[in-house]
């Protein structure tokens, strides 16, 4: 009789934090049916992303403004994005990063798992 062990829920792993973040975001994007998902720093630079690279860069660039809610009154691209994009602040290693996504609705449990994974990866 052979012993069975529970399968690892993570199919891909990496010791490189940027690759690990990409894997985390890719899986969240797949499961959430998202167009793109990105982790940005608070100045709007991409840390890691999954999806079309131009869209990831755009989301990262506008994430700080969208997070602050200062774009609603502006007739601009940022104002258009405010309707279709969600931004969440994640604490990672004592710093804030912005988790930003577009193109779908993420169930709270999947968003929480993504935020926890991001915090764990960046704190390592």
Interatomic CA distance for residues 91 and 118, integer angstroms: 9
Per-residue pLDDT reduced to its tens digit, 8-67: 455 567 788 889 999 999 999 999 999 999 999 999 999 999 999 999 999 999 899 888
Domains annotated for the chain, with CATH where assigned, are 17-123 (3.30.450.30)
Per-residue pLDDT reduced to its tens digit, 63-116: 998 886 655 555 566 667 777 788 899 998 889 999 999 987 788 899 999 999
Contacts of 28 (CB under 8 A, 6+ apart): 34, 37, 50, 101, 106, 110, 111, 113, 114
Contacts of 49 (CB under 8 A, 6+ apart): 22, 25, 36, 37, 38, 39, 56, 57, 59, 60
């Amino acid at each position: 009789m052979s012993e069975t062990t529970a399968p690892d829920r993570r199919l891909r792993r990496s010791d490189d934090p940027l690759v690990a973040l990409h894997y985390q975001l890719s899986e969240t994007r797949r499961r959430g049916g998202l167009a793109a998902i990105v982790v940005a720093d608070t100045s709007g630079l991409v840390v890691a992303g999954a999806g079309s690279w131009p869209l990831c860069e755009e989301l990262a660039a506008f994430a700080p403004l969208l997070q602050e809610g200062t774009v609603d009154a502006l007739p601009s691209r940022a104002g258009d994005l405010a309707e279709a994009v969600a931004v969440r602040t994640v604490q990672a290693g004592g710093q804030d990063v912005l988790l930003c996504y577009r193109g779908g609705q993420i169930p709270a449990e999947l968003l929480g798992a993504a935020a926890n994974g991001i915090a764990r990866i960046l704190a390592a």
